[in-house]
Structure 1
Amino acid sequence: MIHRCMEEFENCPVIAAIKDEEGLKKCIHSEIQIVFVLYGDICSIGDIVSQLKQAGKTVIVHLDLITGLSSREIAVTYLKSVTHADGIISTKPAVIRQAKEEGLFAIMRFFVIDSIAFDSIYRQTESVHPDMIEILPGVMPKVIRRICQNSRVPVIAGGLISDKEDIIAALNAGAVSISTTNQTVWFM
């Protein structure tokens, strides 16, 4: 599973991040292979994942954003057994550890808002060992480059990416992929 997901990320530079039903419908009909689910609740997440899986998508659920699920380890087990998602995104180290134990693809999300964030990224990735990290906002090529040069973990750039220039800048800085809710970018 982990190797297949890594290959898909390397072959798919644009990841669709969906935040509502409209995004779900458009994403299902796109050629994008990897989808980050950023919405839903404990009652709807199974159906959201099922629709995406039926469309042949690799589905990564941002556990912290699913209403009714706590950002605790048991939520990872629930997502795996009930939804059959391929992986999770979280800002919580314990959740990432549990995802790894469950055999799910694990992406740790970091908000880079100041210089202290660099230390946090390096410290947490060394102790938790996520499969990938997602850096937000993703429109900071110099920051992305610095993180990529100092991290052993592949980087996804996400947040505020709005055009082809943003995609190219993030990829040239070393990001493996970009994630975006901007549907125009999905079809570039």
Structure 2
Amino acid sequence: MFEVQERIDQFKSAGKRVFVDIDFVSGLSGDEDSVIYLKKSGVDGIITAKLRIFKQAVNVGLNQSLLRFFVLDSRAVDKGIQQIVSNGIRNIEILPGIVAAKIAPKIRAHAPDITIVAAGLIDTAEEIETLKKHVDAVSTSSTTLWSYRW
């Protein structure tokens, strides 16, 4: 938590949009105060697997926030789509991202205007080429892909 503001400022000064994975920042409890703190710190949005925290972020104006969507099996996909539709979710992150090419069309059939980010297990430019036909962005820890032009 002590590095959050410094990192936000660093990325913002480089012209980047900043999203903080609130579920993994030590010291942030995932309550409304934590969400407000991040908004005041200048983030563009948060990433979370928790619907309650996601709704808090949207309520304070972090409308670009992402709700994490875990693709464990067909049942999880069906429940996730139901959650997206019933809660009017506009932005999701699919994990593992490598399966987004298969899952994104199913999601878009129910929520055509949703923004989809694929994240996790994306290691090659070829995978990005396949994914970009189905998603709006990818998130990867593979530093060799950080310079990839969409």
TM-score, scaled to structure 1? 0.71
Are the equivalent residues in 2 in contact too, given 1:93–1:128 (CA < 8 A)? no
CA distance in 2, matches of 1:129, 1:91: 16
* Per-residue deviation, 1:80: 1.1
Residue 131 of structure 2 corresponds to which residue in structure 1? 170
Assess if the C-alpha contact under 8 Å between 1:96 and 1:130 holds in 2: no
Deviation at 1:71, TM superposition (A): 2.1
- Contact 1:171-1:177 within 8 A present in 2 as well: yes
Deviation at 1:132, TM superposition (A): 0.9
- Alpha-carbon offset, residue 144 of structure 1: 2.9
CA apart distance, 1:70? 1.2
In structure 2, the residue matched to 1:124 is: 83
Give CA deviations for 1:28-68 in whole Å, capped at 9, x if unaligned.
xxxxxxxxxxxxxx211111101111111111111111111
Q: Does 1:136 align with 2:95?
A: yes
Change in 2 beyond 3 A, CA 1:143/1:131: closer
Q: Which residue of 1 aligns with 2:27?
A: 68
**Is 1:183 aligned to residue 112 of structure 2?**
no
1:158 to 116, 119, 126: 119
Structure 1: stretches of 5+ with no match in the other structure = 1-41
Matches within 5 A, 1:6-25: none
**Conserved 8 A contact 2:44-2:65:** no
Deviation at 1:157, TM superposition (A): 1.0
- Aligned residues with identical type, % of pairs: 37
TM-score normalised per structure 2: 0.88
Equivalent position of 1:3 in the other structure = none
* Cα gap change, 1:167 to 1:50, in 2 (>3 Å): same
- Name 1:106's counterpart in structure 2: 65
Q: Secondary structure at the match of 1:166?
A: helix
What stretches of structure 2 of length at least 5 have no aligned partner? none
| Aligned partner of 1:146 among 106, 121, 131 | 106
User: Could you tell me whether the CA contact under 8 Å between 1:62 and 1:90 is conserved in 2?
Assistant: yes
